[in-house]
Amino acid sequence: MRSPEVQNVLNQTIVRTERGLTIAGTRITIYQVMDYLNADQPIPQIKEMFRLSDEQMNGVLEYIAQHPQQVDDEYQGVLQQAEASRVYWEERNRERFQTICKLPPSPGKEALYERLKQRKSELGMP
């Protein structure tokens, strides 16, 4: 059992909002932090990227360690929702992107587009 001081810090560090489990006082969800943890990014780098204090980062790690199944279940739900959103917007904008791709280069940028086309060809890109 954790001491009351440690439990109090955890309760103050992670809060549930409409966005899910969030670091108190920020808009950063623990799911965002988990993306980087799952990609094996160093903790100091994650901390710096999100501008988290030692207390906040330790609170996130402690919360994940204390509630692994709950956090993982919610994280999987967030990933599924993000994928569904990506597919929706990709499909919704497909025609627009195709139209944009067919537009001629902006005046004065023809040489730039030609270099880009050549480089893409060299890389085997469409």
pLDDT digits (tens, 9 = 90+) for 57-75: 999 999 999 999 999 999 9
**Is it the case that residue 8 has pLDDT exceeding 80?**
no
pLDDT greater than 60 at residue 30: yes
**Count: domains in the chain:** 1
Q: What's the pLDDT score for residue 67?
A: 93
As a whole number of angstroms, the distance between CA 63 and CA 113 comes to 50
26-35, 45-54, 110-119: least confidently modelled range? 110-119
Instruction: Please state the rounded mean pLDDT for residues 25-50.
Output: 95
Range of the domain at 76: 4-122
Give the span between the Cα atoms of 113 and 126, in whole angstroms: 14
